[in-house]
Amino acid sequence: MKQRKIPLAAILIPISVFAFNLNAQSKYVDKAGYLKFEASEALFEPVEAINKSVTAVLNTDTGEFASLALIVGFRFENSLMEEHFNENYIESETYPKAIFKGMLIDFDLSSLSKDPIEIMVDGKLALHGKEKEVKTMVSMQKLNGTIVMKGGFTVTPSDFDIEIPSIVKNKIAKEVLVSLNFNLKP
């Protein structure tokens, strides 16, 4: 009886396509995520900026979560404030990114539904050449196949060795509130 030879590619291609699809399904991504920070003091001009082009990735198998924001993507209402933020405070040419890497504690994709649940996130935020441990609760739900993640946390400029000149020190809050909103899709 003559043996029939099957080309190796005929075996490997379907296996690798199947494996890629399995791997792709465990990663949920948002390339237009939302970050806002607010450092306003009462009686002074609002100090806040929004970045609507943040990239976020969630590995639903492991609970690993990461996000990346380009600093120059933060938009202020006042263009002079935006310029000062980038050039004098955050030094965005030297430190162009804010990166968060962490874990969703006890994350289980099957527990997500249209009803939001609270999940702990524990990780490190890298900004301005420094890292800070961040631990916060986020609200998560699954709507039409999209994982919606919302939350917030506070940091201080001193956490990242960001110096605020004394002339404006009273106009900027000691604690900066950071809000996030991601719509993660497979």
Q: How do the domains of the chain map onto residue ranges?
A: 32-184
Distance between CA 81 and CA 69 in Å, rounded?
Answer: 19
Backbone φ, ψ for residue 106 (5° rounding): 55, 35
pTM score of the predicted model: 0.84
Whole-angstrom Cα distance, residue 37 to residue 47? 8
For residue 63, what are its two tokens?
């609970």
Cα angle 152, 156, 159 (rounded to 5 degrees) comes to 115
Q: Which fold has domain 32-184?
A: Lipocalin (2.40.128)
3-state secondary structure of 185: strand
12-68: pLDDT as tens digits? 454 444 444 444 569 999 999 999 999 998 778 889 999 999 999 999 999 999 999
Q: For the chain, give the percent of residues with pLDDT over 90.
A: 77
| Sign of the torsion formed by the C-alpha atoms of 110, 115, 119 and 125 | positive
Q: Residue 107: helix, strand or coil by DSSP? A: coil
**CB count in 10 Å sphere of residue 67:** 22
CA angle 145, 105, 55 (to 5 degrees): 50
Which of 12-16, 146-150, 158-162 has the highest average model confidence (pLDDT)? 146-150
How far apart CA 180 and CA 186 sit, in angstroms, is 19
Q: What pLDDT score does 16 carry?
A: 43
Q: Between these two residues, 69 and 17, which has the higher pLDDT value? A: 69
